[in-house]
Amino acid sequence: PKPENAITIAVSSRALFRMEEEQKIYEEQGVEAYVKYQLDHENEPFLPGAAIAFVKALEAVNAQLRELYPDSEELFDIVLMTNNHAQVGVRLINSINHYGLFIERFCMTGGNSPICYLKAYHTNLYLSSDAEKVSGAIEEGIAAATIFSPSRDPEVSEQQLRVAFDGDAVLFSDESEQIVKAHGLDMFFEHEKAHENKPLAQ
């Protein structure tokens, strides 16, 4: 897909796959032990992470659109964003192939912040398990969300895309929410009544 025409969604490797064990090795034993572990296990696919069902649902939408409109471009372009080094790339590619994911573009930052890379990829949405990186992306004007690993596997459709957006501070500004925090619920109701015909800012 041409990035200027597709909705580009950058997904971090730790949101797409479960990498808690590997992250623990990195934190406790350092980068050399981490890379060695990844190389020794490069033919073992990572376990699926919290974002994998979402990515599969995006791909299902792309597949249906290709079927209905064979000459059209993909609607969603998925980029794997990871701060890993290239040595870990083989295991990531093997895992993507194992789960049959259609991810052709990778960005391996080698430990650098993903922000400038997100901008270069014209990212519309960034999904990561790292709340700090998500905050950094939001501060730069890139829509982003933190993906949490559930304590149990939720039943989520991989064939149908379902997205719920929070209205306050996501689709619309948080101006009403700020009034609740600063002045309480009664003032909020007064403010909403006085401004009921005025649309909220984006």
In eight-state DSSP terms, residue 76 is E
Structure tokens at 178: 């700020």
What CA–CA distance (Å, rounded) separates 66 from 1?
12
Active site residues: 166
Candidates 45, 58, 116, 50; CA nearest to 83 is 116
Higher-pLDDT residue of 134 and 66 is: 134
Residue pair 125/10 in contact (Cβ under 8 Å)? The answer is yes
pLDDT grade, residue 69 (50/70/90)? Answer: confident
Residues 179-196 have pLDDT tens digits of 888 999 999 999 999 999
Average pLDDT, the chain: 88
User: Which of 45-59, 79-93, 129-143 comes out lowest in average pLDDT?
Assistant: 79-93
Whether the predicted pLDDT of 23 surpasses 70: yes
Whether the predicted pLDDT of 110 surpasses 70: yes
Candidates 125, 135, 148; CA nearest to 11 is 125
User: Which of 103-107, 159-163, 184-188 comes out lowest in average pLDDT?
Assistant: 159-163
Provide the pairing of β-strand 17-18 with 47-48: antiparallel
In eight-state DSSP terms, residue 150 is P
Domains located in the chain, CATH noted: 7-146 (3.40.50.1000), 165-201 (no CATH)
User: Which of 91-100, 124-133, 160-169 comes out lowest in average pLDDT?
Assistant: 160-169
pLDDT grade, residue 153 (50/70/90)? Answer: low
